[in-house]
């Protein structure tokens, strides 16, 4: 399937750090340090107090802010104990409503610096139009394959389904394929590739010949950065209204993020504080 053309693979040696790195970076201000604790089944896990610390950091709220917010939601009839993860009886609906109010109150994490002490690095293959969407994200160093120097291995991304235009999103698409079953522009691939190679044969320099290649041309890059920077990207690119092919890259990165930093991913990417 064309989806298999989009690939995300960790650079050997990844990741650097664990959830504990964020915890101890936060505790450094007070000269404190934590460690994993061993469970009866032999697993090593983050202590509950450290999970609560990560949750607080991801909320981005000071103690005073949290107290003010608690008073605000208490006036609305919510059970404020849900905030502190001590009320196991709170309903999922109540918790979800509370979280929605929380992010209306403050949606900018202010204590996410400790999450920038864990690092990830990936080798990614995707079409140019996807790369140009993702390269916009800040604090994520990017080293890309350059067709100023390389002229081989021309490959084009070819979707199984050509999606129709979204009715309510100006620049988006729907989940439906277009009705015209005969629409199949893939025959242009060979023609475009031929024009590109012909230009090179005629002596045109690679940096100009690449202008003939479409945005569906596959490219590859190494993408590195802190967990905090990747988390910001994931929160945006995992959204349902994100371009499908771009979301595929985010989903693959999220799988590694959740595996490597489960507690940090839970609170900073999923914003799940329960």
Which of 60, 105, 115 is CA-nearest to residue 78?
105
Cα end-to-end distance, the chain, whole Å: 37
Catalytic residue among 52, 237, 247, 271: 237
Q: Which are the contacts of 121, defined by CB distance < 8 A and separation ≥ 6?
A: 10, 11, 14, 222, 223, 224, 225
DSSP-derived 3-state class of residue 44? strand
Which of 209, 193, 103 is CA-nearest to residue 155?
193
Which residues lie across from 12 on neighbouring strands?
none
Q: Which are the contacts of 219, defined by CB distance < 8 A and separation ≥ 6?
A: 125, 126, 127, 128, 131, 144, 145
Pick left, alpha or beta for residue 228 (phi over 0 → left; psi -120 to 50 → alpha; otherwise beta): alpha
Q: How many Å apart are CA 124 and CA 14, to the nearest integer?
A: 14
Which residues lie across from 7 on neighbouring strands?
125
247 is catalytic: no
Q: How many Å apart are CA 185 and CA 143, to the nearest integer?
A: 31
Residues that are catalytic? 237
């Amino acid at each position: 399937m064309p989806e298999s053309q989009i690939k995300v693979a960790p650079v050997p040696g990844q990741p650097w750090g664990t959830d504990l790195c964020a915890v101890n970076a936060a505790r450094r201000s007070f000269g404190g340090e934590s460690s994993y604790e061993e469970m009866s089944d032999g697993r090593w896990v983050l202590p509950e107090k450290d999970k609560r610390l990560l949750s607080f950091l991801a909320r981005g709220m000071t103690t005073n802010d949290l107290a003010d917010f608690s008073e605000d939601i208490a006036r609305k009839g919510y059970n404020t104990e849900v905030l502190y993860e001590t009320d196991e009886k709170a309903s999922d609906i109540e918790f979800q409503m509370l979280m929605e109010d929380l992010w209306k109150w403050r949606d900018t994490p202010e204590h996410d610096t400790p999450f920038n002490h864990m690092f990830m690095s990936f080798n990614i293959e995707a079409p140019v139009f996807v790369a140009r969407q993702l390269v916009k994200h800040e604090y994520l160093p990017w080293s890309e394959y350059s067709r100023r120097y390389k002229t081989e291995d021309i490959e084009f991304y070819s979707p199984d389904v050509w999606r129709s235009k979204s009715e309510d999103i100006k620049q988006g698409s729907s989940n439906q394929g277009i009705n015209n079953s005969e629409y199949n522009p893939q025959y242009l691939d060979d023609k475009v590739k031929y024009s590109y190679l012909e230009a090179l044969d005629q002596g045109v320099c690679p940096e100009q010949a690449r202008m003939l290649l479409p945005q569906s041309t596959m490219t590859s890059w190494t993408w590195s950065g802190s967990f905090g920077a990747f988390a910001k990207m994931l929160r945006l690119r995992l959204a349902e209204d994100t371009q499908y092919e771009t979301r595929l890259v985010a989903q693959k990165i999220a799988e590694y993020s959740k595996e490597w930093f489960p507690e940090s991913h839970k609170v900073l990417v999923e914003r799940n504080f329960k």
